[in-house]
Amino acid sequence: MADLANEQSHTSEHVVTMVEKDNEPTCWGCGLHILLPSYAPTFKCGWCGAITGQHVWKHESKCFRWRRLRDRCFVCFLLVFMFFVIGGGMWAVYPVVFSISSLSGIFHSIVAILLSISTVSTFSLASFRCAGTQPNILWGSYPLVGKGDLVNYTFCHYCSKPKSPRTHHCRTCGVCVLDMDHHCPFIGNCVGAGNHRHFIAFLISAVVSMIYVAIMCANVGLRTWPPFTFRSHFDGNGHGSYFAMILAFLNSAVLMSFRGVLLLYLFITSISVNFGLSVLLWQQLYFIYEGKTYLNHLKSEGSDMPGKRDCENIIRFFGFPYSASRYLPIIGKFQKKHIK
């Protein structure tokens, strides 16, 4: 018995000597001291659940202002480009459309105005609206923070405040963004919980608008294109020379008016821009279908845990919390009453 007591006392003394005062980090969430080995890079508080990293020092980049200036320039450029497409398209297309039929001109004018307002307004909301702020929580003191109030919260050393698991710090904007998808330089803002819907609405409106611009420019351009004049010799089989066709096309292109040149430029630009926007829209909708953001997709590339893929994710994203099948019984009741 004496040997067993001596062995227990020796073991307890060994544990006490291994724990030094320097290895008692303080939880930033509740302020409690926790004992852990010196080799532990991070630890999770057993009371509030906050995650603390040791020896983490982060500073804002010196290029912060230049990145902000770059984003503002992109936003100004896109606004000027959109107004150029709207104004130039109106000037080049609608005099010809109204000359064909006044009713057709009025109809296309209404469509163009609606698409212009939709595209510019959604772009402005995505650019100038807050991308998403996390809720304010109590932290820093044990009496204020309850048990489990900060589960999986980390401390942002850039903002010097708590960061929720769904939050990511954007070093370009200099803030923590809730449900951040990515930072888009073309809108000069992050895409997060506060403006993600507006960003998707802008992409949809821009894609539809570019398709409309391409169709109208092609239609009016074919009506106003100078006629071809073929000057070629035919061979024995009666086939014309391909060189004569190319020469006729170039001769007619030289005779184009400024309106025709503008229509050709708008057509090529709308096709190229629409291709890029369509790819980005498909990518965004695919991530929403998977129930995650672009940053979550990058983090989960090496993991074996796939997200829940369901169309309900897209429905909930656009503000419909319930499935369409929820309303099917009501529709069925209305149909039965109608039959009676």
Q: What tokens does 327 get? A: 């309303």
What is the C-alpha to C-alpha distance for residues 73 and 76, in angstroms, rounded to an integer?
5
What is the C-alpha to C-alpha distance for residues 202 and 200, in angstroms, rounded to an integer?
5
> DSSP assignment, residue 27?
P
Q: 146-153 contacts: CB < 8 A, separation 24 or more?
A: 146/48, 147/47, 147/48, 148/48, 148/49, 149/29, 149/48, 149/49, 150/29, 150/30, 150/45, 150/48, 150/49, 150/50, 151/48, 151/49, 151/50, 152/49, 152/51, 153/29, 153/48, 153/49, 153/50, 153/51
What is the C-alpha to C-alpha distance for residues 270 and 315, in angstroms, rounded to an integer?
29
What is the C-alpha to C-alpha distance for residues 205 and 123, in angstroms, rounded to an integer?
9
- Show which residues are catalytic: 184
> DSSP assignment, residue 324?
G
Contact 28, 139 (CB under 8 A): yes
Contact 47, 26 (CB under 8 A): no
For residue 229, count other CB atoms closer than 10 A to its CB.
11
What is the C-alpha to C-alpha distance for residues 290 and 318, in angstroms, rounded to an integer?
15
What is the C-alpha to C-alpha distance for residues 339 and 242, in angstroms, rounded to an integer?
67
Task: Tell me the Ramachandran region of residue 188: left when phi exceeds 0, alpha when psi lies from -120 to 50, beta otherwise.
Answer: left
